[in-house]
Amino acid sequence: MNQPALPRSMNLRRSVLSVPAINPRALEKTHQLDCDAVIFDLEDSVAPEKKAETRENLAAFFRSKPLDGKERIIRINGLGTSWGRADMELVSALEPDAVLLPKVNEPQDIMAIGDLLADADAPDEVRIWAMIETPRGILNAAAIAEAGRTAGSRLDCFVVGLNDLRKETGVLPQPGRQYLVPWLMQVILAVRAYGLCAIDSVFNDFKNIDAFDAECAEARAMGFDGKMLIHPAQIEPANRYFGPDASAIAEAEAIIKAFADPATDGLNVINADGRMIERLHLVQAETLVHKARLIAERLKAKGPTAN
């Protein structure tokens, strides 16, 4: 029996902060922030007349000191625009960890950006993230995710964009997102079927931390790996809600210990303290413990005041 695919990446993606690349101060501040990943935005947060200046800002930032310990993702403009093509030239030059493509509607969008990266001889480590933020994107989520399984594809992560999806569907912003939940779960099914990661949408009212906490708890319960953020104040809650708690770590370590017993060799299912545990749970446990170790190492490196 085939085991469900797990996310390819073992990176932490609890908190994914979007930063306008037009703002040099915001760029520089990312060095001090405790987010797991940074999206350098060349798209929505940048006015048309500022696009060229923004690319220059980002190039200068990448030429300075590296952004240690965080994934670096560049969100480009759509490939159908002149800005998008110029953005891809910048991506090829800077070689970030990933490029985030907005408004992905169909598998061909992923194939097109993959071809551009291949033509530019970008290293395989430069991955593709996809913004799923349109009705067509939701309807085609499984087909888009399946594109990540084709030879040479770099697809690694879906990021849900609810602001655009609400605008195009007329769904009103409401606590609990009850009318959006079926679509969000459709995204989760797609990424889990094909071994990708899923990042939940931004929460716009960054001063309302209680409501943000509730949405993080909801997204974690749905199965999202983390949340896209628009303000540093959202980093600590996101890290807390999407990180493993002590009981989950202890359970994962117990599963790893149980399967380490030589008596389990060749067994896909074992009895551990009265519970039936499958080998797929071992893979999940190893992933969780690995991420817990990454968090502990970061805390140790930053000292006692780190989040």
> 209-235 pLDDT, tens per residue?
999 999 999 999 999 999 999 999 999
- Could you give the angle at the alpha carbon of 18 between the alpha carbons of 132 and 231, nearest 5°? 120
Please give the domain boundaries of the chain with CATH numbers for all domains.
15-242 (3.20.20.60), 246-302 (no CATH)
Element (H, E) at 208: none
DSSP, collapsed to helix, strand or coil, labels residue 46 as coil
CB 158: neighbour CB atoms within 10 A?
Answer: 28
Lowest mean per-residue pLDDT among 31-40, 73-82, 191-200, 254-263: 254-263
Lookup: tokens for 184 = 């969000």
**Quick one: average pLDDT of 52-58?**
97
Residue 269's identity, in one-letter code, is V
97 is in an annotated binding site: no
Asked if 177 contacts 218 with a C-beta cutoff of 8 angstroms, the reply is: yes
Counting every residue, how long is the chain?
Answer: 307
265 is in an annotated binding site: no
Q: Would you state the torsion angle of the CA atoms of residues 129, 135, 136, 142, taken in this order, to the nearest 10 degrees?
A: 60
User: Between 305 and 219, whose confidence is greater?
Assistant: 219
Is pTM beyond 0.85? Reply is: yes
Lookup: tokens for 182 = 């079926």
75 is in an annotated binding site: yes
- For the chain, what percent of residues have pLDDT higher than 70? 95
CA distance 162 to 182: 13
Residue 97, pLDDT above cutoff 80? yes
If pLDDT is split at 50, 70 and 90, which confidence band does 304 have?
low
If pLDDT is split at 50, 70 and 90, which confidence band does 100 have?
very high
CA distance 212 to 217: 9
If pLDDT is split at 50, 70 and 90, which confidence band does 303 have?
low
